[in-house]
Amino acid sequence: MTEELDPFKIAQQELDTAAEVMGLDKTAHGLLREPKRTVIVNIPVRMHDGSVKLFNGFRVLYNDARGPGKGGIRFHPSENLDTVKALSAWMTWKTALADIPMGGAKGGVICNPKEMDDYELENLSRGYVRALGNVIGPKTDVPAPDVYTNPQIMAWMMDEYSKIAGHEEFGVITGKPVEVGGSEGRFDSTAMGGMYVLRETAKLAKMDLKKAKIAIQGFGNAGKFAFDIATRLSGATVVAVSDSEGGVYSEKGLDYAKLSDVKGKKGSVSEYEAKGAEKVSNEELLELDVDVIIPAALENQITDANADKIKAKIVLELANGPVTPEADEILSEKGIIDMPDFLVNSGGVIVSYFEWVQNMYGYYWTQEEVYGKLDTIVTRSFKDVMASQKKYKSTGKKISPRTAAYIVAVDRVAKAMKLRGWY
Ligand code: GLU
């Protein structure tokens, strides 16, 4: 990994930019540049052939001044501590911007879930929880799904934690199936929140979404549902989509049901066939002549190497960290509205928070209630970001939506630390 693309350095750089603009107290800045706690574990896992394999895992609690740590767990072959640290920092800003009473955390295990069967995945999930012990808990640090983890994995983890605790502890983890304490609306909440942000951004850009063409990079927890919701709710046309194997483009638009079927049967959306449809690479997809691009896969997808080639008017960052700070600047010079990840994809953690509240109360809400409350919070966050941008503009400082969002979030965390006497 080059120094420039180390996600944690990027996260620190983004914070530094905001700290300077807002005149953040130096001690608070120093505290916010590093995680509070980093845990590294080696997890012995019984594999299908009877052998025992050791997996390396992490859990980083970045900041819990505003409440228990919150953030997903990724199972990925190229997972590493610096990425997890960056993601835990971004979770801190995400929960603060949404103004939910939680902090930021993240976890990861270096593994390739595509090469593991359910038996091995279950053993790894339970092993991860056993290895972490009291590092996680409903009042300390509450994990959730992320890249290549899902509700079933959350259910195993909750079960293991409950066994160790000696009582049911649904609130230890969110993103669970609804049958075991999950919340209605959680599975597509990241995409749903992103669509609320798109609705507000389109108003700002005076874009009619019914006529808009969208390209989505990624067809996982976020990208897949973004496709479905974007077409159903906003009437936009999704013309391109991809996954780790590659993508497909059709000027006329793609069929969601058919794509899901192809993905399920052939393993990749790039196998989609239709008249007028052609294959595109993940790089080409981002450079298509469309109105909106939605990076919904991994970090560092739009960098100073390709930012100049982006033609869309809106970049909606549904993934975590898809745009580097250099690219952010290039996009803003080109007049492209780049909506930052920790606003766009905050729907996931907001509904995770709802799930945790419901688990604590033992009283559950309908999907309509969940979506309604989600819309209220996401729209409020969007307005907070716009107000912050406007405030600095009036003093002659032109800042990007990302820096504006950082300022709102950092200010909230710094205030909480101050009130608690941390500095
Ligand atoms: N993994 C999601 C994120 O990056 C959700 C985290 C959560 O629900 O705690 O925001």
- Kindly report the CATH number assigned to the domain that includes residue 211: 3.40.50.720
Is residue 227 one of the residues assigned to a domain?
A: yes
Instruction: Say if 304 falls within a structural domain.
Output: yes
Question: What is the extent of the structural domain holding 215?
Answer: 189-339
Q: Which amino acid is at 48?
A: H
One domain, residues 114 and 151: yes
Question: 173 CB under 6 A from ligand 1?
Answer: no
138 alpha carbon to ligand 1 midpoint, in Å? 15
Phi, psi of 173 (to 5 degrees): -150, 145
- Residue 271 confidence (pLDDT): 96
Residue 336 tokens, joined? 């492209």
Contact criterion met (CB below 8 Å) for 254 and 243: no
Mutation choice for ligand 1 from 142, 172, 345, CB with most ligand atoms inside 8 A: 345
Verify that 311 and 277 share a domain, yes or no: yes
Partners of residue 37 on adjacent β-strands? 61
Q: What pLDDT, on a 0 to 100 scale, did the predictor assign at position 221?
A: 81
Burial class (CB within 10 angstroms; exposed 0-12, middle 13-18, buried 19+) of 223: buried
What pLDDT digit, counting tens, does each position of 92-121 carry? 999 999 999 999 999 999 999 999 999 999
Same domain for 254 and 167, yes or no, is: no
- 260 and 124 together in one domain: no
Determine whether the shortest distance from the Cβ of 320 to ligand 1 is under 6 A: yes
Note whether 167 and 61 are same-domain residues.
yes
Highest mean pLDDT out of 185-189, 397-401, 417-421: 417-421
Residues 98, 236: one domain? no
Does one domain contain both 213 and 323? yes
Calculate mean pLDDT across residues 229-242: 94
- Could you tell me if the CB of 349 is within 6 A of ligand 1? yes
Query: Which atom of ligand 1 is found nearest the CA of 70?
Result: 9
CB atoms within 10 A of CB 205: 15
pLDDT in tens, 278-327: 999 999 999 999 999 999 998 899 999 999 999 999 999 999 999 999 99
Residue 5 pLDDT grade (very low, low, confident, very high; cuts 50, 70, 90): confident
* Locus of tokens 């960056």: 86
Q: Which two tokens stand for residue 155?
A: 């259910």
Residue 55 counted as domain residue = yes
pLDDT one-digit tens code per residue, 392-412: 999 998 899 999 999 999 999
Give the count of domains, the chain: 2
Annotation says 106 is catalytic? yes
Give the pLDDT confidence score for residue 4 in this predicted structure.
55
* 328 alpha carbon – ligand 1 mean position (Å): 23
Q: Tell whether 200 and 114 lie within a shared domain.
A: no
- For the chain, give the mean pLDDT: 96
Cβ-proximal residues to 201 (8 Å cutoff; 6+ apart), any chain: 314, 316, 337, 339, 382
Alpha helices in 109-184 (DSSP H): 118-132, 151-165
- Please tell me whether residues 100 and 194 are part of one structural domain: no
Summarize the confidence of residues 120-141 as an average pLDDT. 97
| Same domain, residue pair 147 and 207 | no
